[in-house]
Amino acid sequence: MILVDNEVVLHIDNVKAGYVVGRRFIDAVSSVSLKLFYGEVFGLAGESGCGKSTLLKVIYGYIEPPLKRIEGSLILRTKNERLSLHELSDDELKRRVWWRYMTWIPQGAMSVLNPTIRVRDHFIEMFKLYSNIDKREVYRLTTEYLEALGLSKEVIDAYPIQLSGGMRQRIVIALALLFNPILVLADEPTSALDVVTQKILLEQLLKVQKERGFTLVLVSHDMDVHGVFTDRIGVMYAGKIVEVGSTDKMFAEPLHPYTKALIGSLPRLGDKSIRKGLSGAPPDLADPPPGCRFHPRCPYAMDICRREEPPIIEIEKGRIVGCWLYVKG
Amino acid sequence: MVIPLIELVNVSKYFGYGVIGLVRFPAVDGVDLKIGGEKPEVLTLVGESGCGKSTLAKIMLRILRPTSGVAKYMGKDMWRLKRSEVRRFIRDVQPIFQDPMDTFNLFESVESYLISAARNLLKLNEEQATERIAQTLEFVGLTLDKVRGKRPQEFSGGELQRLSIARALLVQPKLLIADEPVSMLDASLRINILNLLRSAKEEFGTSILYITHDLATANYIGEKIFVMYRGSIVEQGNIEKVINKPLHPYTKVLLDSLPDYRMGREWFKKQLPQTLRTVIEVREMLLKGCKYIYYCPYKTQQCYEKPIMIEVEKSHEVACWMYYE
């Protein structure tokens, strides 16, 4: 894959955000810089509470108290304009960016559908709000979109409660893709589904992604899902991105000790050899440890790790890691 | 012949469904199971969400009374035990639940909780109880000093799950029933808890029934596996045999749909033999015959009858008419 700068769809630069709870500030996204490219599937991995969902919210601009963005810039490049998302007001985001250029599928999205109105009415409502095509055309497009995701025509006339979780999740995805966005943010789209349904959903999502060529950001805690589904992965730990790289390389040769532990501790089918996990627990983000945030659990921790925060360095093209082990000199 | 610790004979549990519970569907449907023989072993019960594995666990823990069939403890009906026998049952069979927060009382310190458990069940005096607790805590990698005076909410999820394992092991039970003990924990901590369960077998001679939806972790700690589908056990036996050579069409699908990072995008080339699931699940639950019939590519007329468990090879059984001769 070529990672060229003019192919960047979203440039996240030094974004800092967190939750203000009373006098405490929970540092959930701490100086994150990231570039997302056109047409890629980018996976955001990490444990619960590491800030991956918060990062998605900040990217989308869905910032409601207690969440607060402190600093940083987000630049979205569409075909004919450059939008500085961090400068837009809620109203402008709603009018110009959401649904058209960028959509967000929040966690547990399958329960957002209104159980008392039919599936087709969800679509009609969406079209009413964002475009002015007539009802028959809406019906045709809806059928087309749902069929692309492997749902039959009957589903359109059903009520959401009559459908299974996997089907509802697909309807939400179809809604998100309605206006051909260039960036889709999916937060744990399959975590509530069982493995068989998960496989079917991932298959169809990947097919649609390839056909339409949008950029998909997938947040998941499941490393195996990342391994099969994504092109590139970013690993987050305690509010920071610690490693970014292409999926193959990341799994073949993880660099950061945390990534190593995360991959090394996965049990495999047909392999009963003893695996070791990490000791300790992730830090409290209201009071993160000084220096590298991983050092209390790191088996390779050095003196400098306890004092200073590691710089983010580029080991090779498109492969970055934030760890003192790789700083030379 | 050794009397199994727990034996289920054709056990079913029905739940009401619909507005006033008029539709009754079986969450567990005619399950036969034996646990606890001569040697301690690690058993795993695997199935998707809603297949009835937690209900089955509750039946074995004597929390739920089966609607039909008999759940036996040491050869006797669990629900016709004398008081002293119920006490022994609680000492012998201990649970670990999914959410460690549920195990402990939020208003009581963990230490006093452990002490009262040790005193009530083991009839120890305070000193002996403290000693026993210190030993058990050491096994799970904690110390009494670290625990003293703290309430459950002051521990992290991983520590709390260790504590709930310690609580269960306190009475040195013959069987631990662990219902999804790691699904609430982070990936980097999961393996530690699994290792702990593995060594509990060695250390205390405890059999473990590990209930999960995750085949990879089941394979990691298990020796024997039960695969459950819509309330019935469809395949059981030695875990290596089942995973390397699955017999039931459902087990095959389950194994094929398990993501594996080592395969990368190649994983998507594994085709599932079934079409999309568009059937409402309760209808499947009410089926008299094989519950997999809607998806099964190999179905025949015989599948409308309930399949019986057939031993295909040594310690590998399957409930599928395909293998019936």
**What per-residue confidence (pLDDT) applies to B281?**
59
User: CA-CA distance, A42 to B265, in Å (whole number)?
Assistant: 14
Q: How confident is the model at residue B144 (pLDDT cuts 50, 70, 90)?
A: confident
Interface test with A, best of B19, B276, B277, B282 (most A CBs within 10 A): B276
Q: How confident is the model at residue A4 (pLDDT cuts 50, 70, 90)?
A: low
User: CA-CA distance, B167 to B148, in Å (whole number)?
Assistant: 14
CB contact under 8 A, B187 and A221: yes
**What per-residue confidence (pLDDT) applies to A36?**
94
Residues of A numbered 32-51 whose beta carbons fall under 8 angstroms of chain B's beta carbons: which are they?
47-48
**What per-residue confidence (pLDDT) applies to A170?**
86
User: CA-CA distance, B208 to A214, in Å (whole number)?
Assistant: 47
> What percent of chain B is modeled with pLDDT above 90?
39
**What per-residue confidence (pLDDT) applies to B222?**
92
Domains of chain A by start residue, with CATH:
5-101+181-267+275-326 (3.40.50.300)
Nearest Cα neighbor of B211 from B227, B234, B190, B198 is B227
Residue B280 has pLDDT above 70, yes or no: no
Q: Between A150, A265, A275, which is nearest B276 by CB?
A: A150
**How many Å lie between the alpha carbon of B158 and the closest alpha carbon of chain A?**
7
CB contact under 8 A, A196 and B277: yes
Residue A270, both tokens: 């047909």
Q: Average pLDDT for residues A167-190, to the nearest whole number?
A: 90
Tell me which chain A residue has its CA closest to the CA of residue B258. Answer: A195
**What per-residue confidence (pLDDT) applies to B98?**
85
Residue B276 has pLDDT above 50, yes or no: no
User: CA-CA distance, B223 to B21, in Å (whole number)?
Assistant: 39
Span of A32-41, A126-135, B159-168 with lowest mean pLDDT:
A126-135
User: CA-CA distance, B184 to B99, in Å (whole number)?
Assistant: 6
**What per-residue confidence (pLDDT) applies to B61?**
94
Q: H helices of B211-321, where? A: 215-221, 239-244, 249-256, 281-285
Residue B46, both tokens: 């695997």
CB contact burial B51-67 (16+ within 10 A = b; e otherwise):
bbbbbbbbbbbbebebe
Q: Please indicate if any CB of chain B lies within 8 Å of the CB of A150.
A: yes
* Amino acid in position B116: S
Residue A165, both tokens: 């979780």
Q: Between A228, A265, A281, which is nearest B264 by CB?
A: A228
User: CA-CA distance, B90 to A105, in Å (whole number)?
Assistant: 46
- CB contact at 8 A, A101 and A78: yes
Q: Please indicate if any CB of chain B lies within 8 Å of the CB of A92.
A: no
Q: How confident is the model at residue B279 (pLDDT cuts 50, 70, 90)?
A: very low
CB contact under 8 A, B262 and A47: no
Q: Please indicate if any CB of chain B lies within 8 Å of the CB of A317.
A: no
Q: Please indicate if any CB of chain B lies within 8 Å of the CB of A273.
A: no
Q: Give the angle subtended at the CA of B313 by the CAs of B308 and B319, to the nearest 5°.
A: 20
Residues 6+ positions from B301 with CB-CB distance below 8 Å: none
Nearest Cα neighbor of A156 from A118, A124, A126, A129 is A118
Residues 6+ positions from A291 with CB-CB distance below 8 Å: A304, A305, A306, A307, A308, A309, A310
What length is written for chain B?
A: 325
Phi-psi region of B87 (alpha: psi -120 to 50; beta: other; left: phi over 0): alpha
> What percent of chain B is modeled with pLDDT above 70?
95
CB contact under 8 A, B191 and A196: no
CB contact under 8 A, B156 and A281: yes
CB contact under 8 A, B187 and A226: no
Q: How confident is the model at residue B18 (pLDDT cuts 50, 70, 90)?
A: low
Q: Between B48, B195, B256, which is nearest A274 by CB?
A: B195
**What per-residue confidence (pLDDT) applies to B2?**
82
Q: Please indicate if any CB of chain B lies within 8 Å of the CB of A164.
A: yes
Q: Average pLDDT for residues A149-159, to the nearest whole number?
A: 83
Residue A290 has pLDDT above 80, yes or no: yes
Quick: pLDDT tens for A214-251.
999 999 988 999 999 999 999 999 999 999 999 999 99
**How many Å lie between the alpha carbon of A282 and the closest alpha carbon of chain B?**
9
Residues 6+ positions from B64 with CB-CB distance below 8 Å: B13, B55, B58
Nearest Cα neighbor of A52 from B260, B155, B186, B183 is B186
Q: Average pLDDT for residues A278-288, to the nearest whole number?
A: 86
**How many Å lie between the alpha carbon of A201 and the closest alpha carbon of chain B?**
10
Q: Between A196, A202, A222, which is nearest B253 by CB?
A: A196
**How many Å lie between the alpha carbon of B142 and the closest alpha carbon of chain A?**
11
Q: Average pLDDT for residues A148-153, to the nearest whole number?
A: 80
Phi-psi region of B282 (alpha: psi -120 to 50; beta: other; left: phi over 0): alpha
Q: Average pLDDT for residues A173-179, to the nearest whole number?
A: 89
Nearest Cα neighbor of A242 from A9, A106, A47, A38 is A47
- CB contact at 8 A, A225 and A277: no
- CB contact at 8 A, A323 and A257: yes
Strands lying side by side in the sheet with A319-321: A102-105, A183-187, A215-219, A41-45, A232-237, A240-246, A319-321, A313-316
Cis amide prior to A288 (ω within 30 degrees)? no
Does the interface predicted TM-score (ipTM) exceed 0.85?
no
Residue pairs between chains A and B whose CB atoms are closer than 8 Å: 134
Q: Between A196, A225, A278, which is nearest B254 by CB?
A: A196
Q: Average pLDDT for residues A312-321, to the nearest whole number?
A: 91
**What per-residue confidence (pLDDT) applies to B278?**
45
**Secondary structure, 3-state, chain A:** CCCCHHHEEEEEEEEEEEEEECCEEEEEEEEEEEEEECCCEEEEECCCCCCHHHHHHHHHCCCCCCEEEEEEEEEEECCCCEEEHHHCCHHHHHHHHECCCEEEECCCHHHCCCCCCCHHHHHHHHHHHHCCCCHHHHHHHHHHHHHHCCCCHHHHHCCHHHCCHHHHHHHHHHHHCCCCCCEEEEECCCCCCCHHHHHHHHHHHHHHHHHHCCEEEEECCCHHHHHHHCCEEEEEECCEEEEEEEHHHHHHCCCCHHHHHHHHCCCCCCCCCCCCCCCCCCCCCCCCCCCCCCHHHCCCCCHHHHHCCCCCEEEECCEEECCHHHCCC
Q: Average pLDDT for residues B59-69, to the nearest whole number?
A: 94
Contacting residues of A for B189, CB less than 8 Å apart: 277-278, 281
Residue B20 has pLDDT above 50, yes or no: yes
Mean confidence (pLDDT) of chain A: 89
Quick: pLDDT tens for B189-224.
888 889 999 999 988 899 999 999 889 999 999 999
Q: Between B220, B244, B257, which is nearest A267 by CB?
A: B220
Q: Average pLDDT for residues B87-97, to the nearest whole number?
A: 92
